[in-house]
C-alpha cells in the first residue's frame, strides 16, 4: 500500500504538453520533466501523473523510465492514484 506521507506532488505548473515531455501509459497521461516536485532543475528525468501531479518515478534515461512505468502502472495503481486525487 502507498504511504500517503511519502507521496511527492508537483508544486509547479506543467506547461504545454508535447510529445517530448509526455507519454500515455495504460490510458494515463504522464508528464516527464527534469524538474523535481518543487520545480528545481535536476539531472534525471522525473515522471508525474498529469491529472493528480503525483510523482510516479525517476530515472537517468527517459526511455528506460517510460519502460519501467509501462510495466509498473497497472489497473490497481491507477485506481489508487484516482482515489488519492479525489481525496485531495
Residue 66 backbone phi and psi in degrees, to 5: -65, -40
**Single pTM value for the model:** 0.83
Domain ranges for the chain: 8-87
How far is residue 78's CA from residue 75's CA, in Å, rounded to a whole number?
Answer: 5
Cell of 61: 534515461
Going from the first residue of the chain to its last (88 residues), give the mean pLDDT of each consecutive group of 10, the final group possibly shorter: 66 92 91 94 94 91 93 78 68
The cell numbers describing 60, all together, are: 537517468
By the 8 A CB rule, do 37 and 49 touch? no
Amino acid at each position: 500500500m502507498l504511504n500517503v506521507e511519502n507521496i511527492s506532488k508537483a508544486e509547479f505548473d506543467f506547461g504545454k504538453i508535447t510529445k517530448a515531455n509526455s507519454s500515455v501509459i495504460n490510458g494515463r497521461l504522464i508528464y516527464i520533466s527534469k524538474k523535481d516536485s518543487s520545480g528545481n532543475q535536476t539531472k534525471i528525468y522525473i515522471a508525474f501523473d498529469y491529472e493528480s501531479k503525483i510523482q510516479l518515478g525517476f530515472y537517468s534515461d527517459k526511455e528506460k523510465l517510460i519502460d519501467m512505468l509501462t510495466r509498473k502502472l497497472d489497473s490497481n495503481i491507477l485506481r489508487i492514484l484516482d482515489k488519492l486525487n479525489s481525496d485531495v
